[in-house]
Structure 1
Amino acid sequence: MKPLCFVIMPFGKKPDATGRIINFDQVYENFIKPVIEESGLESIRADQEMMGGIIHKPMYERLILCDFAIADLTTANANVFYELGIRYTAKPYTTFSIFETGTKIPFDLVDVRCFPYTIVEDEISELESKKEALKKYIAGVRKSKVTDSPVYQLLDGIEFKHNLSSDKVEMLREKAKQENDVSELIQEVVESKSNPDKAAALAKLEESLPDKEDWDASLAINFMLAYRSINAYPQMVTYIESLPDHLRTTVMVQEQYGFALNRSGNKNKAIDVLTAILGDKGSNSETLGILGRIYKDKYMEAKGQNEFLAKGFLDKAIEIYSEGFQSDLRDFYPGINAATLKFVRGDQDSAGFANVVEYSVLTYLSKKDKVSMRKAPSNFDGYWPHASLLELAILQNNKEKAFTYLSNAIATAHESWQTESTANNLELYHSQGDWVAQVIQVLKEN
């Protein structure tokens, strides 16, 4: 049985101190994970960041019980340092720290041995030689068992004791395998062509598992996003409400709760949920983007029935979307919606605002195209940029450019709710010409 190696690192794409975006998922898949497996270890990755930084029971168990741990200190992520501190207290040795050379290591860790790697043009420089060097580094530590924890180096006679059973390690191993198996079953349900009731199949799978108190964050997220991907919004609401507090109350889950409530028709409760997030955590583009969508929907419903109420909802949606875009100019979703609604309202600056958003989208695409160290693109990477450019082209009444972006959008991996959402947005542009109806029809068919 292979020893377990727990990987502590950021998730997704994060900026470093210079503003450069680092794709940590690719660092893990192409560098860290292969090294661990080729060193004869079994890799388990931390998932706390998927839940907004929450540290829960399985996380502590893994930090304490796994035979080895690798911590990536790049970007000086607070969660990583917190977990590294726990690990150093629990284990005198077999903890490895790595970092990208553009990172300034905090003063407290300058005496800790760290393994460097360098990213140039979104790729790890000399990847194969770095992998061999890290494998050699790990092999040396495994053989010598030299104390690497500053806690044990500086405090003579310290000893960490716990009453966790030795069987717990095997339980961790089995649990990780089981959750991988369940994730594969979830994907099979979502992708099934023959199952007429995917929501019921997901619910049955959900009920077959142990109490949700013992679930890892990644498993909880997988179920939630599966319900969303098949447009099972009422079931998604019910599922989120069934989660234990430590999962349900995190920002990511609450944002998706607001999203699902809106899609289920409970707009007022959705507004309450999202407003509470903003009150607690401050402005962020994701929460504001979802909240802006609700007011946009309310505007669409009131339009033609109560013009004064409709105008109020339109103004509110533009205000919220604009705040979302200004809070993070790299997130163009609230920007494109603000540009669309400014056009509807007849704002004189709508074209200028649209140019700013277009620059944001094109900048994102130009950076993404340089990234060769990646797997198949995610729905965000593939669909939304082209859908956003499609809306901007229609706003500018550029039919030729719009048809190009339409082809690019539907040719990429996407879910039905995404094209449906874009088609609904474009209903606002019928005044641009009959060709807009053709675009909408193509989106609905794809």
Structure 2
Amino acid sequence: MKPHAFIAMPFGTKPGPDGQPIDFNRVYTEFLKPALEAAGLEVFRADQEQRAGDIRTDMFQELLMADLVLADLTLDNPNVWYVLGVRHALRARGVVLVAGGRVPMAFDLYTDRKLRYDMHNLMREGGPDKSVLEADQANLTRMVKETMESWHGRKISPVYNLLPQLVEPDWKSLRIGDVREYWDRYDDWEGRINMARQAGRIGDLLTLADEAPVAAFRAEAWISAGLALRKAERFDFALEQLERGLEVEPDNLKGLREQGICLQRLAIAGVPGHSLERARAHYRNVLESHPDDVETWSLLGRLDKDAWTEAWRRPGASPEKMRDDAGYEDALLRSAIDSYARGYRSDPSHYYSGINALTLMHLHLHLTGDPRYARDMVTMAGAVRFAADNETDEDQLFWARASLGDLELLVGTPDTVRAAYKEAIARNDKDWFALNSTRAQLQLLSDLGFRPENVEAGIKVFDRAMERLAPPDARWQPRRIILFSGHMTDEPGRAKPRFPADLEGLAASAIAAVLDEMGVGPDDLALTQGACGGDLLFTEACQKRGVRVNWLQPFEEPEFIQRSVIRSGESWRKRYLDARAVLAAPPRAAPVELGAPPQGVGEGYAYERCNLWLLYTALSCGPDKVNFVCLWDGGGGDGAGGTAHMYREVERRTGRVSRIDTNALFAR
């Protein structure tokens, strides 16, 4: 969806400062609205002027949520000034001022983001001078674009400039008045975001993010998508989504933490341009603004621990060598201890940071014999036990019980270790990653010869639990994603033939040749809609080669069959049903999975939406895996959302395109 702009201005015809009438409806329709739309915004204006003190609740909602507010200050209108004041109080950025003709003195005093336009030209009898109007529109379009691009730069609101410590309100907590329809739509959208996140459907998340009505919603969705991608270990693509969200909400703490995790994991993976030092600098910057954020301190502790581990855990090193090097790098170890301990002191209920600090303190004593942490080890053990024992969040009970198991490993016996870890596993909902995380910590302790009997007891408990679960790497992952879009076969009587039915064989052979050249097979996944013509020819060719095929469709299946399958004849229905019977999964329909399209979109939006849904689903498997095949004449198509649209979107993101030119193919 486009960014949302709200216009505050007078309505109808009013006398101007010089007494001459001004038709503000013409100002809106001929100047303001076209200029903002040219800047890529969706424009809203209240449909009637309000009396002072009678501004409707939906207007307050707009002032809170709109990406941009434009105020026309040509007249000294109290309602417009009131609206501007409310926006300045609610948001630090996203305001543009305009005025025509002679303007109030306050307009001249306001120093930022303001534009004068030629009012007299707009009001000329016989219509405005086109060249002057176009120049004014271009200037306003440019200013709006600059304002939107500098969203996270200097604050525009004088309120937030004069009160630099003032924090913008949480938009979600300010549900203005009784704007029920607005928030009902949001709640439905948020519910679908949550379902997509829980199901790991990152393509759904990204599609829904694009449909968010305002920037605040989009930021939330992009950050959620980044989190899901990070959990799926698509760190590069996750970082891209997080950065999109942070451009809108640069102080979003969850997004900043996730950004640090991705930077850290990319550094550990040895990706060029990434280093642990870069990730460390990122966390330090976050802590400058949030010095008591225990989660960020814990992430910094994890990074310091990774740096320490990297210094001694080397392939082929003997246990003795690893232990000697681990003790030698005690300064790095103490950095990790300090970060975890600093976080725990800021929030003693955060047992995760506490148990990590405590474990590393014990390791420090084990490796160096230095008792400097002896007192902290005693007091922290009791505090961590109390915090973990009092966890009430059902979703965190595994980690609480695992922390108690870690504590037994430090101070208990093999029997108490086994009992505590079994309690933790009983609260694990088949989460292989969570089990593996604790198992990896135990392996580190084993490598360093720390309390071997206790550690071995813990490892055996986790190994037995993990035997019952398939590791993520054992689940099928596609080698490549083959994304397809192509012309449907012509309807009978089409004025200008594009894909005549009698040339179907040529198209099928060309698609088969491309797939054979690519060497597709059972390790690949194909994505398309399943329409008559190109989609079904592609599906049939893939299925013959053992490729898994999934269909994502713009409408619910009965409507899709009517619109896109049998339009060229009933014979396509049987081919559709035959192919459907051997799909990897039933077709997914956008209205069911993503909800109804946003309000006010055009008729062709469903097709564009489905194209992006297909593309985002492909990209979520890894941008480097995506290959696009299209059967296309290079033209603009019959409407929105055709192959031309998909081609442009793929070119913009991957560039890996195999185009079958139907002009050349059918001219043979």
CA contact (8 A) 2:388 2:403 kept: no
Q: What whole-Å deviation, never above 9, does each CA across 1:276-304 have from its counterpart, x for those lacking one?
A: 01122323321111001001011111115
Amino acid in structure 1 at the alignment position of 2:306: D
Q: How many angstroms apart in 1 are the aligned matches of 2:62 and 2:187?
A: 11
Query: Which of structures 1 and 2 has the bigger CA Rg?
Result: 2
1:132-174 Cα distance to aligned partner (Å, 9 max, x none): xxxxxxxxxxxxxxxxxxxxxxxxxxxxxxxxxx998634432
1:37-436, aligned counterparts within 5 Å? 61=61, 170-187=181-198, 189-190=199-200, 201-203=201-203, 205-207=205-207, 209-210=209-210, 214-216=215-217, 219-265=221-267, 266=274, 267-303=276-312, 310-346=329-365, 347-348=370-371, 352-368=375-391, 377-380=393-396, 382-413=397-428, 415-430=431-446, 431=449, 432-434=451-453, 436=455
Is the alpha carbon distance of 1:174 and 1:368 closer, same or farther for their aligned partners in structure 2, counting shifts above 3 Å?
A: same
Distance 1:327 1:209, change over 3 A: closer
* Structure 1 residue 441: Cα displacement: 5.0
Deviation sequence 1:385-432 (CA, Å, 0-9, x none): 111111121112521111111111111145433322222222343231
Deviations 1:220-271 (Å, cap 9, x if unpaired)?
Answer: 4543443344444333222212225233432221112112221233422221
What is the rounded CA distance, in whole Å, between the counterparts of 1:309 and 1:236 in structure 2? 36
User: Corresponding residue for 2:161?
Assistant: none
- Seen in structure 2, the aligned counterparts of structure 1 residues 221 and 401 have a Cα distance that, compared at 3 Å, is farther
In 2: Cα distance, 1:59 partner to 1:411 partner: 51
Query: Alpha carbons of 1:280 and 1:175: their partners in 2 closer, same or farther (altered >3 Å)?
Result: closer
C-alpha distance in structure 2 between counterparts of 1:226 and 1:357, whole Å: 34
Q: 1:385 to 1:361 in 2, by over 3 A?
A: farther
Alpha carbons 1:229, 1:417 under 8 Å: kept? no
CA gap 1:268/1:409 in 2 versus in 1, 3 angstroms: same
Are the aligned partners of 2:348 and 2:383 in contact in 1 as well (CA < 8 Å)? yes
Q: Distance in 2 between matches of 1:351 and 1:309?
A: 20
Normalized per residue, the structure richer in helix is 1
Contact 1:358 1:389 in 2 (8 A): no
Q: Quick one: distance in 2 between partners of 1:59 and 1:392? A: 55
CA RMSD of aligned residues (A): 3.7
Q: Deviations over 1:71-95 (max 9, x none)?
A: xxxxxxxxxxxxxxx89x99xxxxx
Q: 1:325 to 1:244 in 2, by over 3 A?
A: closer
2:216, 2:249 within 8 Å by CA — same for their partners in 1?
Answer: no
Bigger Cα displacement from structure 2, 403-412 vs 431-440: 431-440
More displaced, 327-336 or 170-179?
170-179
Alignment CA distance shift 1:308-1:389 (3 Å):
closer
Where does the alignment leave 5 or more consecutive residues of structure 2 unmatched?
1-57, 66-85, 91-176, 268-273, 315-324, 470-668
Query: Is the contact made by 2:413 and 2:454 (CA closer than 8 Å) also made in structure 1?
Result: no
* CA positional deviation for 1:337: 1.2
CA shift digits 1:19-74 (9 cap, x unpaired): xxxxxxxxxxxxxxxxxxxxxxxxxxxxxxxxxxxxxxx99628979xxxxxxxxx
Structure 1: where are the runs of 5+ without partners?
1-57, 66-85, 91-165, 191-200, 370-376
Letter in 1 for 2:355: I
- Structure 1 stretch 320-329 or stretch 202-211: which is displaced more? 202-211
Q: TM-score, normalised by structure 2?
A: 0.36
Aligned AA for 1:421? S
Q: Distance in 2 between matches of 1:60 and 1:363?
A: 46
User: Which residue type is aligned with residue 443 of structure 2?
Assistant: E
Q: 1:283 to 1:167 in 2, by over 3 A?
A: closer
Cα separation, 2, equivalents of 1:338 and 1:249: 28
Contact 1:344 1:428 in 2 (8 A): no
Structure 2: which amino acid aligns with 1:335?
A: G
Counterpart secondary structure, 1:383:
helix
In structure 2, C-alpha distance between the alignment counterparts of 1:59 and 1:301, rounded to whole Å: 56
Amino acid of the structure 1 residue aligned with 2:436: E
Q: Deviations over 1:112-150 (max 9, x none)?
A: xxxxxxxxxxxxxxxxxxxxxxxxxxxxxxxxxxxxxxx
SS of the equivalent of 2:210 reads: coil
The percent identity for this pair of structures is 22
